[in-house]
Amino acid sequence: MDEQALMGLNPNADACYRQRALAYFEQLKESLDGWEVCAQALAKGVYSDDHVKFFCFQVLEHQIKFRHGSLTAAQQQLIRETLMKWLQAQLMNVHPEKPFIRNKVAQVLALTFVMEYLTLWPKFFFDILNLVGLNPNGVDIYLRTLMAIDAEVVDRDILHSPEETRRNTLIKDSMRERCIPALVESWFQILQTYQHTHSELTCQCLEVVGAYVSWIDLNLIANDRFVNLLLSHMSMEELREEACDCLFEIVNKGMDPVDKTKLVESLCQVLQSAGFFSIEQEEDVDFLAKFSRLVNGMGQSLVLSWTKLSKMGDVKVSAETLRAVEGKVPLMLQLLIHEDDDISANIVGFCYDYLHVLKQLPALNEQQKTNVEAIMLAVMNKLKYDDEYNFENEGEDEAMFVEYRKQLKMLLDRLAQVSPELLLEAVHRVFNATMQNWQTVQFMEVEMAIRLLYMLGEALPASHGAHFSGDTTKTSTLQSMMRTLIICGVSEYQHSSVTLEFFETVVRYDKFFLVEPQHIPSVLMAFLDHRGLRHSSPKVRSRVAYLFSRFIKTLYKHMNAFIEDILSRIQDLLELAPPENGFPVLLSSDDQLFMFETAGVLIVNGESPAERKQALMRSLLTPLMEAFRMLLAKLPQEASEERQAVLADYLSHAVGFASRTSKAFSNKQTVKQCGCSEVYLDCLQTFLPAISCPVQRGPLRSAVRSFLHRMIICLEEEVLPFIPAASQHMLKDCEPRDLQEFIPLISQITAKFKVQGCTINQNKPVKFTVNAAPHKLMLQQPDVKVLKNYMKVFQEPSCCLHIPLSVRFYVAVLTHFYCVCAGFFPAGQTLKLELSSGATYRPP
């Protein structure tokens, strides 16, 4: 072997050596016999360097995986002998190989097994077992190989081709016939031999049993000697977690519902007798998390058995199974209410399925009602934040709690389906008790109480959010809680989680204010003062900006008396704040978008006359236009590209803010009816010069183009005089991407103004031909002269091409030019275009 190349396998080697090693690896892989050199080196133990050994096994792995079928019988035999010699050498080693070497060997053995077991090496397992016996080094490789075989043959998370799936099925069938009993016996011997001396090997073996139990005969595992051994492991600190996982896989095995019930019940009896159900005495939370998962598996298995038996109509056996399910509820509740969220989360699945069972019953007995109440209280208690939750810098732990809360919400929704009256009553009781004393209660209690009210909105759904009409009991209870929420003063609570939950709930139940509009002023003040948009937390301000927008959009008909006061109070939040002014920014530009939309909704939907609406809209947008002109004048003078990008960003924001205000208009309240056309035309006049700016063209053109899209919708024909100049500037020195983004704008004009103002010299379809450029234009450097030739057509008076008249032709030419630029048409190919009606075309 190339010794110098092998030096590059060391992680600390120079780059040139590493490159040489990589090249050598590729050479050996591609060579027909290079792998034999590696096989000999492994069989004879030539190299002691771990990286060289790993390298040799990689070469061997590649040969087996991709060229096994083309090897001669002698070469295939050489691979088998190499692996067995290497394995035999391990039995004599005082120190085992590094884990990454052992894992690679296991992968190579597994690949060899998959390729040869059905034909060439049917005694694969017997040969390995006879060789390794109970030698710990050999057992380790044997167990790793079994897990690698599971990954290759059984693991459902790995995608296989249909051919591989058929092969894997044959392998499993053959293993069941030939060797599974012997493998199971070897597992028992390993577990029994090493349970007190080699915990790592024992845990590996338990993992193997758990992996294989899903497809082998369960009676080989679910018998007295095996179960007793597993239960003894449950009492050993180093083995108990793996033993739990192993029992979980046994319980999860698919089988007849009656047999499954018997299996689970017998296992539960043994576990209970051994004291494992007394979880209050257990301090090991890691083990309890595993145990909770096991109980969850047992409970869900029983529920599944009950479901199958109920469908089969077996009343007696299904009733017995239901009693078995309910016998596990006390343990489930203990785990659900546990202070450790991982333990609680692992039992949620069983809890959810149990509630689904109760939902299907015709009526609940007293014990079942008690169970429902207990689950309800547990969910409410577990919804609370703990003291360690970091609201300002949420990390992985916080994200996990948020996900856990989502699981609890699913339980709450299911509780509402089982007993909506009970849930409503419980939430009402907890909410009132908390709100009466919110000043002296910890923030997590207050947040949880408001959160429960919020969650009722989905747990007790109503059509289009109409929670305050229909069922009198529900509406009066919700109305009472909303009234309490607003008047009790809890919005003053000094914690961001409570503040956010208050505003979220107010907006979720915004229809409440249609029933009791007298509360609108106090809620508006909460939005506008230190509790909302002026809150000390940027996170709260940001969310409140969005929620305020939703609140106003729903209740705009009730805002007429407050419009100008609101606009006055949020005026400083509507300023375009360039970075050089040095003032702290309360809202981000994304948040300001919501504020401008809110301002637009207030102005447009107010009951003021058109003149007043125009004045308000002008006072809203004039500061934007002034700031835009000032920044646009500065932009070309900036030498720093980074500084240019910052200014271009602010200019784009200004255009976006103006555009966002136009979302307030509708078919009932158009720009023209509100008298605001002149204001938006002024905006157009202000923004269009940005298209010609020599720097930062991309973001500026994109922003103005988006604004034009909005104005075509809002201003209709009033926008048309601006299109020719805008088009010429946008297409000047353009790139293919500019054309690609420009064509939708022209298409929009085409659809909007189909025949309007079109002077037609011939009242019939006009056919014409445009020849592609004599050479294929490059996408990166389109020939702008070609475009200018096309554009001359639009400037000839004889063609009657005032833009509103010729948009169809305009689209045709531009589309053709774009296609040529993008290379969609070969050189010299002719593109035929047809106008159904439009301007006369005279070729330039």
Q: Is the pLDDT of residue 249 over 80?
A: yes
CA distance 330 to 770: 82
CA distance 121 to 114: 10
Q: In this predicted model, which residue has the larger pLDDT, 794 or 360?
A: 360
Q: What is the mean pLDDT of residues 74-101?
A: 93
Owner of token pair 């500065």: 634
CA distance 56 to 440: 70
Pick the closest to residue 579 from 571, 569, 589 (CA basis): 589
Instruction: Name residue 771's beta-bridge partners.
Output: 830
Phi and psi for 412 in degrees, rounded to 5?
-65, -40
For residue 759, the Cα-to-chain-centroid distance in whole angstroms is 54
Residues 35 and 63: beta-carbon distance below 8 Å: yes
Residues 28 and 38: beta-carbon distance below 8 Å: yes
- Other CB atoms within a 10 A radius of the CB of residue 725 amount to 14
Per-domain boundaries in the chain: 254-386+397-418, 425-558, 588-732, 752-844
Query: Per-residue confidence at 264, pLDDT binned at 50, 70, 90?
Result: very high
The region that residue 760 occupies, defined by phi over 0 for left and psi between -120 and 50 for alpha, beta otherwise, is beta
CA distance 46 to 734: 66
Q: Is the pLDDT of residue 529 over 90?
A: yes
Give me the pLDDT at residue 53, please: 87
Torsion sign (Cα): 595, 598, 604, 609: negative
Give me the pLDDT at residue 582, please: 57
Helix (H, G, I), strand (E, B) or coil at 32: coil
Give me the pLDDT at residue 156, please: 80
For residue 489, the Cα-to-chain-centroid distance in whole angstroms is 37
Query: Per-residue confidence at 97, pLDDT binned at 50, 70, 90?
Result: very high
Helix (H, G, I), strand (E, B) or coil at 277: coil
Q: pLDDT above 70 covers what percent of the chain?
A: 85
Query: Per-residue confidence at 826, pLDDT binned at 50, 70, 90?
Result: very low
> What does the pLDDT look like over 594-614, one tens digit per residue?
999 999 999 999 999 999 999
**Max alpha carbon distance in the chain (Å)?**
101
CA distance 51 to 55: 6
Q: Which pair of structure tokens corresponds to residue 843?
A: 């070729």
Give me the pLDDT at residue 21, please: 67
Identify the weakest region by mean pLDDT among 94-103, 710-719, 737-746, 759-768. Answer: 759-768
Q: Is the pLDDT of residue 840 over 60?
A: no
Give me the pLDDT at residue 282, please: 79
Residues 150 and 211: beta-carbon distance below 8 Å: yes
The amino acid sitting at 267 is L
Task: Tell me the average pLDDT of the chain.
Answer: 85
Query: Per-residue confidence at 158, pLDDT binned at 50, 70, 90?
Result: confident
- Other CB atoms within a 10 A radius of the CB of residue 611 amount to 9
CA distance 278 to 66: 55
Q: Is the pLDDT of residue 583 over 80?
A: no
DSSP 671: T
CA distance 286 to 290: 7
CA distance 355 to 357: 5
Q: Is the pLDDT of residue 41 over 70?
A: yes
Residues 431 and 452: beta-carbon distance below 8 Å: yes
Give me the pLDDT at residue 6, please: 61
Instruction: Name residue 770's beta-bridge partners.
Output: 831
Q: What is the mean pLDDT of residues 136-165?
A: 92
Q: Is the pLDDT of residue 755 over 80?
A: no
Q: pLDDT above 90 covers what percent of the chain?
A: 66
Pick the closest to residue 263 from 250, 274, 272 (CA basis): 250
* Burial classification of residue 832, based on how many CB atoms lie within 10 Å of its CB (0-12 exposed, 13-18 middle, 19 or more buried): exposed
DSSP 690: G
**DSSP-based helix, strand, coil % in the chain, nearest 5:** 75, 0, 25
Residues 627 and 574: beta-carbon distance below 8 Å: no
Query: Per-residue confidence at 725, pLDDT binned at 50, 70, 90?
Result: confident
Neighbouring residues of 426: CB distance < 8 A, sequence distance ≥ 6: 373, 376, 377, 380
Give me the pLDDT at residue 771, please: 33
Helix (H, G, I), strand (E, B) or coil at 833: strand
- Other CB atoms within a 10 A radius of the CB of residue 425 amount to 15
Helix (H, G, I), strand (E, B) or coil at 19: helix
Give me the pLDDT at residue 465, please: 73
Q: Which pair of structure tokens corresponds to residue 70?
A: 């083309």
Give me the pLDDT at residue 473, please: 84
Query: Per-residue confidence at 5, pLDDT binned at 50, 70, 90?
Result: low
Give me the pLDDT at residue 7, please: 61
Give me the pLDDT at residue 339, please: 93
* Burial classification of residue 89, based on how many CB atoms lie within 10 Å of its CB (0-12 exposed, 13-18 middle, 19 or more buried): middle
> What does the pLDDT look like over 50-72, one tens digit per residue?
888 888 899 899 999 998 999 99
Give me the pLDDT at residue 57, please: 92
Residue-by-residue DSSP string for 698-726: HHHHHHHHHHHHHHHHHTGGGGGGGHHHH
Continuous segment of H or E residues that includes residue 812:
helix 807-821
The alpha helices in 117-256, defined as continuous H runs, are 124-132, 136-153, 162-178, 180-194, 199-212, 224-234, 240-252
The region that residue 578 occupies, defined by phi over 0 for left and psi between -120 and 50 for alpha, beta otherwise, is beta
Q: What is the mean pLDDT of residues 533-558?
A: 96
Q: In this predicted model, which residue has the larger pLDDT, 473 or 522?
A: 522
Give me the pLDDT at residue 790, please: 40
Pick the closest to residue 176 from 209, 217, 205 (CA basis): 217
Query: Per-residue confidence at 816, pLDDT binned at 50, 70, 90?
Result: very low
Give me the pLDDT at residue 18, please: 67
Q: What is each CA distance from 271 to 182, 185, 280, in whole angstroms?
A: 28, 24, 15
Residue-by-residue DSSP string for 379-448: HHHHTS--TT--SSS--HHHHHHHHHHHHHHHHHHHHHHH-HHHHHHHHHHHHHHHHHTGGGS-HHHHHH
Q: What is the mean pLDDT of residues 404-422?
A: 95
Q: Is the pLDDT of residue 804 over 90?
A: no
Give me the pLDDT at residue 20, please: 67
CA distance 498 to 492: 9
Q: What is the mean pLDDT of residues 759-786?
A: 33
Query: Per-residue confidence at 736, pLDDT binned at 50, 70, 90?
Result: low
CA distance 652 to 647: 9
